[in-house]
Amino acid sequence: MTSIDFDQYARDYASLIAEQTEAFDSDNDYFVRYKIDCLRSIAPHARSILDFGCGVGRSIPFLRAAYPQAEIIGSDPSAESLAFARKTNPKETFVPLNELGAETRYDVIFAACVFHHIAPEIRDETLAFCRERLAPGGRIVIFEHNPLNPVTQRLVNTCPFDADAVLLGKGETAARLKRAGLEIDKAGYCLFFPGALAALRPLERRLQWLPLGGQYFVSGKSPSA
């Protein structure tokens, strides 16, 4: 899925992320909470959730708080990342990506800043893999860095574990989801205001059309049975 060896970053991942994003918001959990809040607005109910490319499991506690009754599975190709995720989330379930069978279908597949690590030539293949594990009427919700934002570009260019990153725009993500047989039901830009302008953050949902946010999201829904 990625040419970067995330095993070497598992132990220090959280501190590296904090260093990269401190100028935007000193509360590093803000970015995770933001995505989960957005996910809840798109899919308020889910019986089963796959955190695809879960890394060290930073999203898992927030997913659990948002969906307390759901079955939540974290999956990643990095063994060290999964070991760290299991240690910090001992009650949750984590599965290596190559052991993620197609027999279980998920109401929501959540992929937070994963696809820029996937080589463009295998992105469609990866989405087909996800599509096969999506329940009828379920959603794949992708969050990605916005390549139109110069601050985002700078952060990616200076991040050690983004050395292999090939950013993809919202249009590419939507087109690939459509090719996977999914209907785009929600999409928009997000993460506009840094902590210094936190008072303006309630306006963000009105600005989702504006391609200046630090990131964006696209939700693709599968046909109902």
Residue-wise pLDDT tens digits, 29-69: 899 999 999 999 999 999 999 999 999 999 999 999 999 99
**Mean pLDDT over the full length of the chain:** 90
- Average of pLDDT values for 65-85? 95
Residue 11 lies in a domain: yes
Per DSSP, the three-state class of 53 is coil
Residue 16 lies in a domain: yes
Cβ within 8 Å of residue 84, ≥6 positions away: 10, 11, 13, 56, 57
Higher pLDDT, 9 or 33: 33
Confidence category of residue 204, pLDDT binned at 50, 70, 90: very high
Check residue 110 and give its pLDDT.
98
HSE-CB at 46 with a 13 A cutoff on CA atoms is: 33
Check residue 156 and give its pLDDT.
83
- Average of pLDDT values for 3-11? 53
Q: Which residues of 215-225 are buried (b: 16+ CB within 10 A; e: fewer)?
A: bbbbbbbbeee
- Average of pLDDT values for 72-92? 95
| Domain that residue 70 falls in | 6-221
Contact 77, 96 (CB under 8 A): yes
Contact 70, 106 (CB under 8 A): no
The answer to which of 34-48, 105-119, 144-158 has the lowest mean pLDDT is 144-158
Return the CATH number at 100.
3.40.50.150
Tally of domains within the chain: 1
Residue 1 lies in a domain: no
Confidence category of residue 9, pLDDT binned at 50, 70, 90: very low
Cβ within 8 Å of residue 218, ≥6 positions away: 141, 142, 144, 170, 173, 174, 177, 184, 186, 187
Check residue 129 and give its pLDDT.
97
The structure tokens 């009828």 sit at 136
Confidence category of residue 6, pLDDT binned at 50, 70, 90: low
Rounded alpha-carbon distances, angstroms, from residue 158 to 17, 79, 112: 11, 25, 19
* Strand 48-52 versus strand 71-76 pairing type: parallel
pTM for this one? 0.91
Is residue 90 pLDDT above 80, yes or no? yes
Check residue 116 and give its pLDDT.
94
Cβ within 8 Å of residue 167, ≥6 positions away: 116, 144, 145, 147, 152, 153, 156
The structure tokens 């597949």 sit at 109
DSSP string, 190-205: E----GGGGGGGGGGG
Check residue 29 and give its pLDDT.
87
Distance between start and end Cα atoms, the chain: 30
- Average of pLDDT values for 125-153? 96
Check residue 2 and give its pLDDT.
42
Residue 197 lies in a domain: yes
